[in-house]
Amino acid sequence: MSLIIVDSAGPATSVQDAGRKGAQRYGLTTSGAMDSLSLAIANALVGRDKDAAAIEMGPLSASFTARKGGVRLSLAGADRVGRVGSRSVWPNESFFLEEGTNLVLSPARSGMFSYLGVEGGIMGEPVYGSLSVSARAGLGSPYPRPLRAGDTLEVGTAQPAESERRCKLAPATNGPIRVVLGPQDDAMTPEAVSLFLTTEWRLSPKSDRMGYRLEGPRLTHADGFNIVSDGNVAGSIQVPGNGQPLALLADRGTTGGYPKIATIITADLSRFAQTQPGGRVRFAAVPIEEAQQEARAFAALLAGIASRVEPLVKGIAAGESGRF
Amino acid sequence: MTSPHPRLLLSGDSALVVEFGDRIDPELNRRVLMLDALLAREPIAGITETVPTYRSLLVHYDPTRIGHAEISERLLELASRESEPQRQGRRWRVPVVYGGEFGIDLEAVAERAGLTTDEVVALHSGGDYRVYMLGFLPGYTYLGGLNPRLATPRREDPRLETPAGTVGIGGVQTGIQCILAPSGWNLLGRTPVRTYHPHRDPIFLMEPGDYVTFFPVPAARWEALERAAEAGDPVAEVVAA
């Protein structure tokens, strides 16, 4: 076993995998990576299952040191660079961190969340099949809270290799975030639904892993803003009394008492989660059949992500920017 | 005219809401739990998780395994099936320290209801409550069956932090909040019982469809009960259903 020591980290740094399944009926939410595509890429680059645990980081700078042996890491997600001594580290690439050396990640230039994949994995005790941190529920392993300076992660030991790896992906599109209307779009006025779909929303700084708040014109409820609580999913867009939509994400409550005007489609959730505060977002409604076609294509992309990993040829990839 | 329920609502590309109504009503909740039990007995391949609430069942599914049209048809068929016997709910006796620092809104609830605090405690602990759902936060237990005289609107200024184990009233509902969290409910007391304890087997004590009664315990017993609960003792007892 090698160790990864956290030298410094922003507040949104935590161990996350594909999330916790099977306990939403008890009020325990899934948590898990905000950007499941980037998680899959980070894992594929170090030979791990797409759903395995990685270190999720917000957009602030961070730094880590390898101890008791070398480690192989990968970077995916937000557009940022890292440095290991005099070497640069880029998104969608793996790299080797020798014992005693240190990785320094600059703040993200665009995007929100990055993932450090770890060859051999992060050691921990899963609960409901997951190591994901849910700070409110006191769950997550090895630490049931976000990571902070001084924390130590036990990880697989790796050996230097002749070449590192890269993952080739088409760049993400910039189109509107697609939604399926409902389950309670009928609790809003028809004008509110049309306003929701034509407005360029601004992402509020008061956004986190629980949900992203959107600022714009006030959406009007047809008949009050309280409903008898029903279930939430990742991507549920609820409209509370103030008429400003709130998109519920990984650390959402499992149920809620505000009408939900629409749900972000699975294939667009990762891209939505990478929107920075102050960023602009538009929504477009698609029929359920199209949403499911996209969901199946997205699932196939994740399942086949390892086939997009190839040896990194120095001098060609260097300097190329990430997916975001 | 035929009833609009049960009806299916879209909750994105990987979940459907089977809605039996839009009210808090024991009969609606019974049908929700019946469908949930039916799906446990006769699973539909592709369903990954179900979440019962007061009046609807959220069904998570994997669209790579079953499509919207097929699952809709099968859920509607199951939802309209009539009364199969469901699991007999367990009955829990839950200790509560009412009032004082444990229930800072007891006096306000009493005043509003025109009752003494002792009468509020007697009415609240004399109730027979049904677990309608667990939701929002881990182990948050929503109970139906509150004496209407105790109904108290939620606070206009929700508190940013209310302690784990809080037993409160929000409108016509009462419930047990298991972890430290913000809340707009009126706080009657605290129970040492942990409906959620990540380091205990079982992690969750109660199921939707269970029943709960409360009994008052003196503040002097809090520390011992709390310590036992922390160590993994359920503290609540199951009595014959």
CB of B197 less than 8 A from some CB of A: no
pLDDT for residue A324 is more than 50: no
Q: How far apart are CA B163 and CA B167, in angstroms?
A: 10
Mean local confidence (pLDDT), A280-291: 98
Mean local confidence (pLDDT), A76-87: 96
B204: nearest CB among A26, A255, A256: A26
Q: How far apart are CA B185 and CA A181, in angstroms?
A: 31
Min Cα distance B79 → chain A (Å) is 17
pLDDT for residue A161 is more than 80: yes
Q: How far apart are CA B113 and CA B110, in angstroms?
A: 5
Which of A98 and B3 is assigned the larger pLDDT?
A: A98
pLDDT for residue A203 is more than 90: yes
* Nearest of A283, A268, A264, A285 to residue A201 by alpha carbon: A283
B68: nearest CB among A28, A289, A299: A289
pLDDT for residue B3 is more than 80: no
For A124-128, B87-91, B108-112, B228-232, which range has the lowest pLDDT when averaged over its residues? B87-91
Give the model confidence (pLDDT) of B163-178 as tens digits.
Answer: 999 999 998 889 999 9
A288: nearest CB among B10, B49, B138: B10
Quick one: pLDDT at residue A323?
44
Per the CB < 8 A criterion, the answer to whether A56 and A34 are in contact is yes
Give the model confidence (pLDDT) of A119-133 as tens digits.
Answer: 999 999 999 999 999
Cβ neighbour number for residue B57 with a 10 Å cutoff: 28
Element (H, E) at A273: helix A266-273
Rounded (5°) CA angle B96-A230-A271 = 120
CB contact under 8 A, B10 and A180: yes
Mean local confidence (pLDDT), B200-208: 95
Mean local confidence (pLDDT), A175-181: 97
Quick one: pLDDT at residue A257?
87
Percent of chain B with pLDDT over 90: 83
How many contacts does A have with B, using Cβ atoms within 8 A? 144
Closest residue on chain B to A252 (Cα): B136
pLDDT for residue A6 is more than 60: yes
Quick one: pLDDT at residue A273?
98
Mean local confidence (pLDDT), A92-110: 97
Min Cα distance A44 → chain B (Å) is 21
User: Helix A266-273 and helix A36-45: axis angle, to 10°?
Assistant: 80
pLDDT for residue B217 is more than 70: yes
Mean local confidence (pLDDT), A44-66: 98
Mean local confidence (pLDDT), B107-126: 97
ipTM above threshold 0.85: yes
Token pair listed for B182: 């913000």
Cβ contacts (< 8 Å) between A230 and chain B: which residues?
17, 19, 53-56, 58
Mean local confidence (pLDDT), B117-140: 96
Quick one: pLDDT at residue B84?
62
Domains of chain B and any CATH numbers = 7-79 (3.30.1360.40), 91-239 (2.40.100.10)
Quick one: pLDDT at residue B45?
98
CB of B52 less than 8 A from some CB of A: yes
pTM (2 d.p.): 0.94
CB contact under 8 A, A292 and B13: yes
Domain A177-281 carries which CATH code? Answer: 2.40.100.10
Residue range(s) occupied by CATH 2.40.100.10 in chain A: 177-281
pLDDT for residue A96 is more than 60: yes
Quick one: pLDDT at residue A320?
47
Confidence category of residue A170, pLDDT binned at 50, 70, 90: confident
Conformation bin of residue A315: beta by default, left when phi > 0, alpha when psi is -120 to 50: left
Average pLDDT, chain A: 95
Confidence category of residue A315, pLDDT binned at 50, 70, 90: low
Give the model confidence (pLDDT) of A225-284 as tens digits.
Answer: 888 889 999 999 999 989 999 999 999 999 998 999 999 999 999 999 999 999 999 999
Confidence category of residue A171, pLDDT binned at 50, 70, 90: confident
Q: How far apart are CA B197 and CA B204, in angstroms?
A: 7
pLDDT for residue A322 is more than 60: no
Give the model confidence (pLDDT) of B20-44 as tens digits.
Answer: 998 999 999 999 999 999 999 999 9
Quick one: pLDDT at residue B157?
81
Q: Which residues, at least 6 apart from A286, have a Cβ–Cβ distance to it below 8 Å? A: A178, A179, A180, A265, A294
